Amino acid sequence: MDNEPKKIIVQKPKLPRKFDKSNKIEADTHYEQLELSDLSLNQQKASHIKLEQSQFKSVDLSGVEFKFFQLVSVAITNSNIANAKWREANISRVTFTECRLTGFDIADGILENVEFLNCKLNLANFRFAKLKKVRFENCDLTEADFLGAELKNIDFSKCDLSKAQLANTKMGHVDFRTSTIHGLKAQTDNLKGAIISPDQAVDLVWLLGVKVI
């Protein structure tokens, strides 16, 4: 169909065939081709860490506080990142798969070419973050907070965005069509650039101050 929105293409991480295995990451360090697996970094605090072409497998990152955190071409699988604080992080070509990110805080961050696949992101904080070419697929985003965020070329595929906060967001080509948006918190101006289905229009009609009887 001529009116069908263009599919959002998200670039995947470029990973090496072999990794250097480690059981820790430290502040003020640049890592390449690193693998962290089956370990806990719970509650760790550090700053100025950069990882490239690396992977996390079954890592407990819950409650960590990483400042000035940068990820480039990184795959994160089956890991616990609940209540982690990655404020002002810069992540590019990163894939999160089967991860728990409840309460994840990446406010003021930059996310480009990022995928969240089958992840739990309820109560996540994306306030004032800049997201470009990001796909959320089969994710729980209930009560997630995107206040003041910039969303450009975003695909919410089969996600639950019930009661998510989208006030003061700036949108460009944001596809909600296959997701649940009941109770979405927004103003009509914030939804310019959103793509919705006819059925979803009923969930948003309250923004116009009218009742459907």
Q: What tens digit of pLDDT does each residue of 163-199 get?
A: 999 999 999 999 999 999 988 888 777 788 888 888 8
What CATH number did the domain enclosing 74 receive? 2.160.20.80
Q: Distance of CA 78 to CAs 55, 65, 103, 172, 184, Å?
A: 11, 19, 17, 31, 28
Q: Is residue 15 part of a domain?
A: no
Q: Is residue 1 part of a domain?
A: no
pLDDT at 213 over 60: no
User: What was the pLDDT predicted at 207?
Assistant: 59
Q: What tens digit of pLDDT does each residue of 16-72 get?
A: 999 999 999 999 999 999 999 999 999 999 999 999 999 999 999 999 999 999 999
The total number of structural domains in the chain stands at 1
Q: Is residue 176 part of a domain?
A: yes
Range of the domain at 83: 20-208
Tokens for 199? Answer: 């059925």
Q: What tens digit of pLDDT does each residue of 89-141 get?
A: 999 999 999 999 999 999 999 999 999 999 999 999 999 999 999 999 999 99
User: What was the pLDDT predicted at 116?
Assistant: 98
What pTM value is reported for the model?
A: 0.92
162's CB contacts (< 8 A; 6+ apart) are 142, 143, 180, 181, 182, 183, 184
Give the mean pLDDT of 147-158: 97
